[in-house]
Structure 1
Amino acid sequence: MTRYVMSIDLRRCVGCQTCTAACKGANATPPGIQWRRVLDIETGEFPDVRRTFLPVACMHCANPPCEAVCPTRATTKRADGLVAIDYDLCIGCANCVMACPYDARSIVHESHFAYGDTPMASEAKRFDPDRIGVSMKCTFCVDRIDLAAITGQVPGVDPEVTPACVNSCISGAMQFGDIEDPQSSVSRLLKETQHYRMHEELGTEPGVYYIWDQS
Structure 2
Amino acid sequence: MDLARRMFMGQLARLAAGASLVPLATVAEAAINDQPPRRGGDPTKRYAMLIDLRRCIGCQACTVSCHLENDAPLGKFRTIVSQYEVDDPETGDMSTFFLPRLCNHCDNPPCVPVCPVQATYQQEDGIVVVDAERCVGCAYCVQACPYDARFINDKTQTADKCTFCTHRLEAGLLPACVESCVGGARIIGDLNDPESTIARMIAEHRDELQVLQPEKGTLPHVFYLGMDERFVDRPEAFASIWEIRGTDNEELHYEFSGH
Q: TM-score, normalised by structure 2?
A: 0.67
Total equivalences in the alignment: 180
Matches of 2:203 and 2:85, distance apart in 1? 28
Aligned position for 2:243: none
Aligned position for 1:23: 66
- Among all aligned residue pairs of Structure 1 and Structure 2, give the percentage whose two residues are the same amino acid: 45
Of structures 1 and 2, the one with the larger relative CO (CA 8 A, separation 6+) is 1
Aligned position for 1:175: 187
Aligned position for 1:104: 149
CA RMSD, Structure 1 to Structure 2 (Å)? 1.4
- Corresponding residue to 2:113 among 43, 68, 80: 68
Gaps of at least 5 residues in structure 1 are 112-131, 149-160
Q: How far did residue 139 of structure 1 move?
A: 0.9
Gaps of at least 5 residues in structure 2 are 1-43, 228-259
Aligned position for 1:195: 209
Tell me the SS of whatever aligns to 1:67. coil
Matches of 1:90 and 1:146, distance apart in 2? 23
Higher helix proportion:
1
Alignment of 1:194-213 (within 5 A): 194-212=208-226
Structure 1 segments (4+ residues) deviating >3 Å: none
Deviates more, 1:42-51 or 1:58-67: 42-51
Q: What is the one-letter code of the residue matched to 1:2? A: K
Aligned position for 1:114: none
Matches of 1:173 and 1:72, distance apart in 2? 36
Q: How far did residue 21 of structure 1 move?
A: 0.5
Q: How far did residue 135 of structure 1 move?
A: 0.4
Deviations 1:83-119 (A, max 9, x none): 010011111111000000011111134x4xxxxxxxx
- Corresponding residue to 2:84 among 41, 51, 63: 41
Alignment of 1:55-204 (within 5 A): 55-109=100-154, 111=155, 132-148=156-172, 161-193=173-205, 194-204=208-218
Matches of 1:7 and 1:108, distance apart in 2? 27
Given the alignment of the two structures, is residue 3 of structure 1 paired with residue 46 of structure 2, yes or no? yes
Matches of 2:211 and 2:153, distance apart in 1? 29
Deviates more, 1:42-51 or 1:178-187: 42-51
Tell me the SS of whatever aligns to 1:65. coil
Deviations 1:34-90 (A, max 9, x none): 111101122225653322101001111111000010010000000001001001111
Matches of 2:167 and 2:46, distance apart in 1? 16
